Structure 1
């Protein structure tokens, strides 16, 4: 019998190429949404400069495709679409474009939370605060009114995965914070979060609660969400409700119990919450909870010097650094300023409250934070940055590679001469 013809490389490549799906057949492309829209958009002179108008149009076209993908039948496809829209909102600030499609996005998020499962619920929850940030103050009120009930229901549903519930807690607190609202509603929401992370309190016999890593992440997220909303409270209320031993939950004793949790995230969230409680209480009166401080300081010092080998080295390093700052503040009322530079501006974080608010928004925006701090009116209002800066008439001229090299060489020479003099002094001595 004649032998069959062997397929060469060119035949295999031809067959494989025929099985590939074209870009037009794909409903959503995660990579192309953020980084792929600028391909082949060269200027007429053949350089790599991309026309900004063409780039914006391509970005909006991809974003429309992603928003349309939120309503497809495939659960994985909807999850990918939620993630793609979120990446787009992080990449660019386009409030007018989003405003025209806000109802579609809100309905899709609500549907994803109610009917989705696991990853889809988490992705839908993460998109909610990004939508608020895009729309600004007035738009965030509408988002909060529509999504707050379903986010609250999902966060308290024990049948939902712990990680999805954790993301719902984070998003629920952030959209409530961005939209403001009545303090009574905020306190009610804080009680819901307290019910969730109370699972990490010590047991009745004083033993540590045994919770899994996923549940620990949920408790940490709920405690962090509670702390963000706590920053909205007036110092006088904090002093009255907590400092005077009133029946307010969680109490300082309950919060300190969370410092013994076996999960790093819970310990860090508890330390941050205690620092903010003391900061707001001391803003009203410097003698806030003085009787509680000695025992708390002992616990904080143990955490700040923890060297147990059963903890990961990275976890030990992060824990020691964080609790050293908290310990110094509780003992000496000392917190060094943290400066965040973006563009030609500087944001100074001079309090635990301000740091918490910054970190919460930073966790949501990630790499897009600096861009939003410069352009987003809502964030500029929150951090008291004033009106958006106009473009400078005389832009800063970037140094050439040769200029940087000469400056570095001169600095190196001066440093070497200075060190040589010091060495000579030591040898003479």
Structure 2
């Protein structure tokens, strides 16, 4: 009998949520669950190969979903994080729609009973599910189910500060995507204000002494509040401020005195967005306050205090120069985002805020979703058609065809390698 360690049953097929792949592997690693793959399988047609890759990808997703119910907390966290990364890299609304009950139930359990790290992971996954589902009934159901739990966790002082900040970001994005009634949006904004109001000046006018971690929580709550502000109906902003449903401009300006950079930057963006929305209805919106706040912005745009980090000073000056230019001259610097053959122009503070928030959720997957996700294309009013391969010149088509064949051959070679490796493992065990 040959000596050596034999593989036990528990060592095979066990999924702990980790995927040892690179961005180019598309989850085609040696842990693949594809079985009985024939070496004679034809990959001549691109559609067949795409279907094969899609099936392999969905098999991996199913493994992750199965791992969400394991007893190990770290294993659940790994599965949640891996599932989130996979759904960022690929737009699969049909797959998510068919299993949204299972995913939503797992997120709900993690938010209720999980520790700080598990709550953070679940809060990061929640808005990705909403982005995959779009404006469907399933997306609204996910928002209604998870919103109370996210609010509870965000406002619970016993929960870790980092997890609370993730819940604030999730609340802002899901509230923005859901298109809820105005009353529900205002209620959520008031919950968020109870969090970032901790950075308002004290009753005696002194600056509150908070840690950098708490400051990041306040900045996250204010950022989510500002994102929800972009969904306000036209003409409603002035009335909501006058009736004190929303905080006053004076209260928000107090946040500019915070010693923490993130709070100052987020407060400046919130004020710029309020002025942008207010001036749509009234060109003389808050003119008296504008004179005061302009001086504050000028100081922040030229801040040279040595006790601040050089990088922080540079970022602050650049941001407040843009805000000052808008307050004084109604100029918003155009930012162009290229994805595929299309260009997205961010020419308002509202669009800049929405794009920034989506980037924080999708990361490098933002370009893919801008090209394929109907919800994002509706948000940014992207109507230009996507140029297909058959619209290209003849020489370009030939080049694309050669590239396609190389990719098909590479996929076939990799599939054969995986299949043979499995057979070798079985023979060695025997």
In structure 2, the residue matched to 1:124 is 122
**Match of 1:310, SS?**
coil
Structure 2 runs not aligned, ≥5 long: 33-38, 400-430
CA distance in 2, matches of 1:86, 1:33: 16
Alignment of 1:342-381 (within 5 A): 342-381=339-378
In structure 1, the residue matched to 2:311 is 314
Conservation of the 8 A alpha-carbon contact between 1:375 and 1:388:
no
Q: Identify the match of residue 28 of structure 1 among 13, 17, 42.
A: 17
CA distance in 2, matches of 1:361, 1:238: 24
Which has the bigger relative contact order, CA under 8 A and spacing at least 6? 2
Residue 45 (structure 1) shift: 11
Conservation of the 8 A alpha-carbon contact between 1:33 and 1:84:
no
Q: Go from structure 1 to structure 2 and tell me whether the alpha carbon gap of 1:88 and 1:43 turns closer, same or farther (over 3 Å shift).
A: farther
Q: Go from structure 1 to structure 2 and tell me whether the alpha carbon gap of 1:204 and 1:175 turns closer, same or farther (over 3 Å shift).
A: same
Residue 394 (structure 1) shift: 3.3
Residue 342 (structure 1) shift: 0.9
CA distance in 2, matches of 1:315, 1:191: 30
TM-score scaled by length of structure 1: 0.83
Q: Go from structure 1 to structure 2 and tell me whether the alpha carbon gap of 1:247 and 1:53 turns closer, same or farther (over 3 Å shift).
A: closer
In structure 2, the residue matched to 1:37 is 27
Structure 1 runs not aligned, ≥5 long: 1-10, 401-429
Q: Go from structure 1 to structure 2 and tell me whether the alpha carbon gap of 1:141 and 1:18 turns closer, same or farther (over 3 Å shift).
A: closer
**Match of 2:164, SS?**
helix
Residue 30 (structure 1) shift: 3.3
In the alignment, does 2:251 pair up with 1:261? no
Residue 96 (structure 1) shift: 0.9
Conservation of the 8 A alpha-carbon contact between 2:17 and 2:80:
no
Conservation of the 8 A alpha-carbon contact between 1:374 and 1:388:
no
In structure 2, the residue matched to 1:94 is 92
CA distance in 1, matches of 2:84, 2:103: 11
Conservation of the 8 A alpha-carbon contact between 2:341 and 2:387:
no
CA distance in 2, matches of 1:399, 1:299: 59
Conservation of the 8 A alpha-carbon contact between 1:196 and 1:219:
yes
Could you list the per-position Cα deviations for residues 130-166 of structure 1 after superposition, in whole angstroms to 9, with x for gaps in the alignment? 0011112112111111111111111111111111111
Q: Identify the match of residue 295 of structure 1 among 292, 295, 298.
A: 292
CA distance in 1, matches of 2:398, 2:307: 49
Could you list the per-position Cα deviations for residues 74-129 of structure 1 after superposition, in whole angstroms to 9, with x for gaps in the alignment? 11111111101100110100111111111000000000000001110010011111
Conservation of the 8 A alpha-carbon contact between 1:144 and 1:175:
yes
Residue 356 (structure 1) shift: 0.9
Could you list the per-position Cα deviations for residues 322-347 of structure 1 after superposition, in whole angstroms to 9, with x for gaps in the alignment? 11100110111111221111111111
Residue 240 (structure 1) shift: 2.8
In structure 2, the residue matched to 1:223 is 222
Conservation of the 8 A alpha-carbon contact between 1:338 and 1:348:
yes
In structure 1, the residue matched to 2:412 is none
In structure 1, the residue matched to 2:162 is 163
Q: Of the two, which has the highest radius of gyration?
A: 1
In structure 2, the residue matched to 1:181 is 180
CA distance in 2, matches of 1:157, 1:195: 11
Conservation of the 8 A alpha-carbon contact between 1:255 and 1:274:
yes
Residue 390 (structure 1) shift: 6.0
Could you list the per-position Cα deviations for residues 347-392 of structure 1 after superposition, in whole angstroms to 9, with x for gaps in the alignment? 1111101111111111101111111111111111111113863624
Conservation of the 8 A alpha-carbon contact between 1:259 and 1:266:
yes
Q: Identify the match of residue 76 of structure 1 among 74, 77, 85.
A: 74
Q: Go from structure 1 to structure 2 and tell me whether the alpha carbon gap of 1:183 and 1:45 turns closer, same or farther (over 3 Å shift).
A: closer
CA distance in 1, matches of 2:387, 2:233: 35
CA distance in 1, matches of 2:392, 2:308: 50
Aligned residues: 384
In structure 1, the residue matched to 2:382 is 385
- Superposed structure 1 runs of 4+ greater than 4 Å apart: 39-46
CA distance in 1, matches of 2:222, 2:51: 44
In structure 2, the residue matched to 1:61 is 59
Residue 248 (structure 1) shift: 4.0
RMSD across aligned positions (CA): 2.8
CA distance in 1, matches of 2:116, 2:328: 43
In structure 1, the residue matched to 2:171 is 172
Conservation of the 8 A alpha-carbon contact between 2:151 and 2:167:
yes
CA distance in 1, matches of 2:214, 2:142: 28
CA distance in 1, matches of 2:284, 2:330: 12
